[in-house]
Structure 1
């Protein structure tokens, strides 16, 4: 069965081109050209990936993403304006899993899509078969259901947030550089991009830490990287 993608972008010609490339990869593609319609579609159907532009009529991409993240952890690839650092950081803070700046090469676009889908489906299914659940402090992390509980209360995490948390937690006490985290969690070659990892760490802390400004689980090792606290 083909993986199913929703593209929300008001550039009709770009959408046609993108669909052509993705269908060659045996991916099923739906397209919506405004934010409100795209959000309604995303909430009413099941998708393996959303490709979401920032500039959209009716609802912009940030508004769509914020609303979507209230109920869904589906991977989101955000399309941002060229060299717009603010758009990139805003999208990551709201729950985007990756971003791509316009204009982009179709080869890179297809590679990003395949990478996100692979993490969401095949690779995650394999990990769920071989990895054990973790109990750390008040946290319960189950890779089979991709569920995180804090004192029996469920915490909604995106795909990348869960992968990041599980990777650090199963390696308690070990310090990882940003490069090591990126290569293990994103499964891609590292490009110097502190914002991506830092934003995901910050967002994850807000969801799992009693006080995000004084984290007890994910700790910063200044000048090196991050570690999961061995003492919890």
Structure 2
């Protein structure tokens, strides 16, 4: 999965300029004009770095940022116009990150973004997160939050659908019979006439496969079962 960067700024021109610079470097870019929208993006997407204007930092957003910091180590880069703006966040070391002054050029922005993402990915917290995530092609499964993404887009699965997908993805290449899947996920005895597993597999494919009839992820092994 490619690195996804969230740009948070009230100024649409800044968001556009930063997006152009970052997308040229191959990053996926999301943008938000306020803290509320930014929080929604953080909750719904796998963000690798947040680039945020310090003017966004109303007290509610500071509290929200502290919550983000409590649960993960997403790097944050603050954008500012004047040095006075920095004073507003200096009392909050737990949310502080690097700074970049506006207007910035492409070299400045790319250099600091690459450095922060590199540090992030070698940190113990990221290594732990990396074990939580299962990544297969464009498919990402987060065991901790029970979220599923296809090319960074959130996929809504039911509890049982997620359990089946996690089982198969955690055992990539191993074929599971319908009976084995049923017994592991439902914890009950399987009856030959029960088509519950097949129905759930079909629904999962409809949600994660570009062509459900020609699946890329959940493959049918005829006469045996399913595998990823």
**TM-score (normalised: structure 2):** 0.49
